[in-house]
Amino acid sequence: MLAHKAAMRRLPAIATLAAATLFCGAAAADVVPLPHPRPPMPFEPKSFAEAAAGITLPDVITSEPSPCRLRLETAAVIEPLPHLIGPDACGGGDMVRLKAFHALDRKDVVIVPPPELRCEMAEAVVVWLRDDIAPIFSAPALIEVENFDSYECRGRNRVFGAKLSEHGKGNALDIRAFKLADGKRIEPTDVYVDHEQRDKFRQAACNRFTTVLGPGSDGHHESHIHLDLAERRNGHRMCQWEVRDPMKELAQIPLPQPRPNFGAESPAANDKRKL
């Protein structure tokens, strides 16, 4: 009880001290400069559809065509794309939509649907198709290339949590088929397409790209060919595409063992079989 009374007597002193502290605090707040407001962040488009809506990063990023784009415009029909950031590590600058390339005979060969690629990758694709692939089909001529996948923000082989695919940087293209002027459709992974022709597709792809994945690589590329320009330590290249031959594979399958001979069958048994 005595202690309580003593505490009550000290109350006015505590109140005075608190008021003084508050006053000093207010005075200090007057002199401490407030943080500057952050400048408004430019809108960062997460897809080309968003970017095409007209809200893009500052013009400085896309206003000047790169030397690559200037070269590509003489060799192909392209549409420049706005700088794309994200989501996460996806996106990139100097991307283009590659609609067609000029073949050596100056006729255009379309790519359907037009892939969205980083300019250097688009240029490598044009050179590969124009100088290596189109000449393989002299008559009937190559008129269309079937694109299976290009820019897409995803992990490798669409596995959740996997390392970012080169597709997420616009650095990869998946090819499904080549179409010829007579309507024929040629899949480079089809074992019934001429073996020598498929060997040429493979050899040319492995010369031009740092990664080539096809049948026999990892089980995810049995019906299309993956091409990219990934940079690796020591300039390591990956060329994993087995050009398969069904007749050879059939020949390698061991024949069934001959059935044991149980001796000659009786004439009666032969008669039954005829029924």
- Per CB under 5 A, residues contacting Zn ion are 172, 174, 226
- Residue with Cβ nearer Zn ion (20 or 162): 162
CB of 43 to Zn ion, least distance (A): 30
Cα-based angle 71, 75, 80 (whole degrees, multiple of 5): 65
Give me the residue label for tokens 């688009």.
122
Residue nearest to Zn ion (CB): 226
Reference 77, options 112, 52, 48; nearest CA is: 112
CA separation for the pair 45, 253 (Å, rounded): 54
- Residue with Cβ nearer Zn ion (72 or 121): 121
* Burial (Cβ within 10 Å: 0-12, 13-18, ≥19) of residue 144: middle
- Residue with Cβ nearer Zn ion (94 or 174): 174
Task: Estimate to the nearest angstrom the gap between the alpha carbon of 28 and the chain centroid.
Answer: 56
- Residue with Cβ nearer Zn ion (156 or 244): 156
CB of 227 to Zn ion, least distance (A): 8
CB of 202 to Zn ion, least distance (A): 16
CB of 37 to Zn ion, least distance (A): 44
* Burial (Cβ within 10 Å: 0-12, 13-18, ≥19) of residue 110: middle
CB of 89 to Zn ion, least distance (A): 17
Neighbours of 102 (CB within 10 A): 15
- Residue with Cβ nearer Zn ion (56 or 165): 165
- Residue with Cβ nearer Zn ion (96 or 172): 172
Q: Do 185 and 177 touch, CB atoms closer than 8 A? A: yes
Neighbours of 48 (CB within 10 A): 17
CB of 142 to Zn ion, least distance (A): 21
- Residue with Cβ nearer Zn ion (179 or 226): 226
Q: Do 198 and 243 touch, CB atoms closer than 8 A? A: yes
* Burial (Cβ within 10 Å: 0-12, 13-18, ≥19) of residue 155: middle
Q: Which two tokens stand for residue 85?
A: 């950031």
- Residue with Cβ nearer Zn ion (94 or 228): 228
Pairing relationship of beta strands 211-213 and 238-240 according to DSSP bridges: parallel
Give me the residue label for tokens 């488009």.
45
Is cis: bond before 140, omega within 30 of 0? Answer: yes
CB of 226 to Zn ion, least distance (A): 3
CB of 74 to Zn ion, least distance (A): 28
